[in-house]
Amino acid sequence: MRSPRDTDHRFKTSAIGAVLLLLLLIAPPVAGFGESELRAQSLEGQIRSLVGANAEGYLRPLSDGLNFALTGGIFDSPSARSALSFDLSIRVLGAIPDASAREFLVALPDTVRWQSPQGTERLYTDPYQSADPDGSLRTPSALGEGPGLVLEPRGAFRDDLIAAGENPDDYRISFPEGLDLRAVPTAILGLSVGVGLGTEISLRYLPTVQVNSEVGKVGARGWGIQHTVSQWFSSPLDISVGVGRQEFEIGSLVEATASEGWLLMGRGIGPLTLFGTAGLRRSAVDVEYEVRNPEDLPSLPSDGTMVRFRSDLDTTTALGAGFRLQLLFMNLSGVYTAGDFDTFAVKVGFGMP
Domain at 347, CATH number: 2.40.160.20
Helix segments in the chain, DSSP class H: 48-70, 155-163
Spatial strand order of the sheet with 111-115 comes to 38-39, 111-115, 121-125
Return the ∠ at Cα 106 (arms to 97 and 308), rounded to 5°: 75
Please, what are the averages of pLDDT over each run of 10 residues along the chain (353 residues)?
A: 35 26 28 35 35 77 78 89 94 89 90 83 90 94 90 92 89 83 85 96 86 64 95 96 89 82 96 96 81 58 75 85 96 92 93 89
Q: Which amino acid is at 316?
A: T
Rounded to whole angstroms, the Cα distance separating 142 from 79 reads 39
DSSP E strand stretches across 116-270: 121-125, 128-130, 138-140, 150-153, 173-174, 184-196, 199-212, 216-228, 238-250, 254-269
Rounded to whole angstroms, the Cα distance separating 293 from 32 reads 11
pLDDT at 295: 56
Nearest Cα residue to 258 out of 73, 26, 68: 68
Whether 54 and 161 map to the same domain: the answer is: yes
Whether 80 and 127 map to the same domain: the answer is: no
Q: 46: helix, coil or strand?
A: helix
Output the DSSP codes for 59-75: HHHHHHHHHHHHTS-S-
Whether 200 and 84 map to the same domain: the answer is: yes
- Please say which residue of 174, 204, 221 terminates a domain: 174
Based on its alpha-carbon atoms, the radius of gyration of the chain, rounded to whole angstroms, reads 25
Rounded to whole angstroms, the Cα distance separating 157 from 124 reads 6
Q: Does 6 reside within a domain?
A: no
- The values of phi and psi at residue 36, to 5°, are -165, -170
Q: Does 182 reside within a domain?
A: no
- Please say which residue of 174, 198, 222 terminates a domain: 174
Whether 256 and 337 map to the same domain: the answer is: yes
Nearest Cα residue to 307 out of 283, 284, 323, 291: 291
Residues 271/247, Cβ–Cβ less than 8 Å: no
Which tens digit of pLDDT belongs to each residue from 92-144?
988 898 888 999 999 888 888 888 888 888 889 998 999 999 999 999 998 89
Residue 137: domain span: 11-60+100-174
- Please say which residue of 133, 152, 174 terminates a domain: 174
Q: Does 70 reside within a domain?
A: no
Whether 131 and 56 map to the same domain: the answer is: yes
Q: Does 302 reside within a domain?
A: yes
pLDDT at 5: 36
- Cβ neighbours, 10 Å, residue 123: 12
Whether 127 and 80 map to the same domain: the answer is: no
pLDDT at 250: 73
Tell me if the pTM is above 0.85: no
Whether 135 and 284 map to the same domain: the answer is: no
Rounded to whole angstroms, the Cα distance separating 229 from 263 reads 10
Whether 254 and 304 map to the same domain: the answer is: yes
How many residues can be counted in the chain? 353
Whether 200 and 107 map to the same domain: the answer is: no
Output the DSSP codes for 98-121: -GGGGEEEPPPPSEEEEE-TTS-E
Listed in sequence order, the residues at least 6 apart from 60 whose beta carbon sits closer than 8 Å to its beta carbon are: 104, 141, 309, 311
Listed in sequence order, the residues at least 6 apart from 233 whose beta carbon sits closer than 8 Å to its beta carbon are: none
Total tally of structural domains belonging to the chain: 2
Which residues are paired to 245 by β-bridges?
223, 259
Q: Does 2 reside within a domain?
A: no
Q: Does 92 reside within a domain?
A: yes
Q: Which amino acid is at 99?
A: A
Residues 59/287, Cβ–Cβ less than 8 Å: yes
Rounded to whole angstroms, the Cα distance separating 185 from 344 reads 10
Nearest Cα residue to 311 out of 56, 94, 138, 141: 56
Q: Does 220 reside within a domain?
A: yes
Label residue 323 exposed, middle or buried (CB < 10 Å: 0-12, 13-18, 19+). middle
Whether 26 and 83 map to the same domain: the answer is: no
Whether 259 and 113 map to the same domain: the answer is: no
- Cβ neighbours, 10 Å, residue 87: 25
Strands 306-327 and 32-33, how do they pair? unpaired
Whether 134 and 191 map to the same domain: the answer is: no
Q: Does 181 reside within a domain?
A: no
